[in-house]
Structure 1
């Protein structure tokens, strides 16, 4: 009985201590911190946010393509894995840019959901790809993403000469974009050549190679 009473007293004391340690700072209260270290211009910040949405949009589109080839009625596991991988890479690019934006003190007060919203398609359609058209679409999409990154670099270079971001984008992102696009273009060339010699069997064989 004494043991039970002792445990009860101990638990009550722990509860009181825990209550005292609870954070009472309101969630909407802003900390007063120096702002001089935040030197990205609003023009560059907005352009970077746009690029984040572009990367997230490409990720969703690759995911849609991967899901299409994963269906039992299509059954192209090689293509599916290729585009699942591409979706992960584009999402990772978006994540890295978000981390960079917050590192530079980027303001997300307008809502993170706007930054990573699902791309809206005005017209509903049913996707239907074969291997060649899918790879061609992927090359075109990567080309568009590369052009978008170049536009971001130009904006941030001309607007307040943000050399750090420009160097980061040039050294990391453009390198990956050029290599990735070249790889997809090579796959497209190979598949087209295989179709010339193997006809409809080419896509099946190429999928096995993937």
Structure 2
């Protein structure tokens, strides 16, 4: 009897805290005297908890940012893959980055839905692409520099969301953990790699036979990607 009393007490406490809103919706809609409810039926019976509601717009914008970045890198890939540029190594590099950001966007959307939210594709990224940047006129070094800047910007935004999720007014350990596990370390590696490529490329361009180096650099990408 004592164990039963303890279990009953725990159930009552739980029903009065985390589950009371959904319970009230069900009781009002399905009771012997149904209550007319304005808005969606059983609106509180969802997977939302914590401060996810406040953080959801940032995650939606971050997913849209990854989608835009994916298309940007895809354009860069096709630019270097045409018959004029003929840089299959750079084509492969930017196609790989494009696919990576596309998959990251899908992963963010899955996390949003797991936490009971919905994706809003109209949520504008915090940083818009510059209108005067012409992707289809970039040379090899310019493209690496642009990719580096974009990767650093996305890394900074991940840090901002992570910091926001740890703030006392919008604290949500689940969101902070997700950003830390899925983005921070991977982005640090990407930024470091692109920074190294940019630095190496710039250094060798000072050589008299720079055209040979560009060819060899492209061949290096083809063999390592």
TM-score range, shorter chain: 0.7 to 0.9
Shift of 1:151: 1.3
- Structure 1: segments with no counterpart, 5+ residues: 1-29
Quick check: 122-131 or 38-47, which moved more?
Answer: 122-131
Q: Is the 8 A contact 2:66 2:102 kept in 1?
A: yes
1:164 aligns with 2:174: yes
**2:99 aligned to which of 83, 88, 111:** 88
Quick check: 121-130 or 189-198, which moved more?
Answer: 121-130
1:196 aligns with 2:206: yes
Change (3 A) 1:54 1:184: same
Shift of 1:123: 6.0
Change (3 A) 1:124 1:36: closer
1:35: which partner in 2? Answer: 45
Q: Is the 8 A contact 1:52 1:115 kept in 2?
A: no
1:5: which partner in 2? Answer: none
Alignment of 1:115-134 (within 5 A): 125=134, 127-134=136-143
Change (3 A) 1:174 1:127: same
TM-score under structure 2 normalisation? 0.71
Shift of 1:33: 6.5
1:154 aligns with 2:154: no
1:72: which partner in 2? Answer: 83
Partner of 2:69, secondary structure, is: helix
TM-score under structure 1 normalisation? 0.75
CA distance in 1, matches of 2:75, 2:63: 19
Greater relative contact order (Cα < 8 A, sep 6+) = 1
- Structure 2: segments with no counterpart, 5+ residues: 1-39
1:145 aligns with 2:167: no
RMSD, aligned α-carbons: 2.5
Alignment of 1:35-54 (within 5 A): 35=45, 37-39=47-49, 40-54=51-65
Q: Deviations over 1:45-88 (max 9, x none)?
A: 11111111111111111111111101101110000000000000
Question: How many residues are aligned here?
Answer: 178
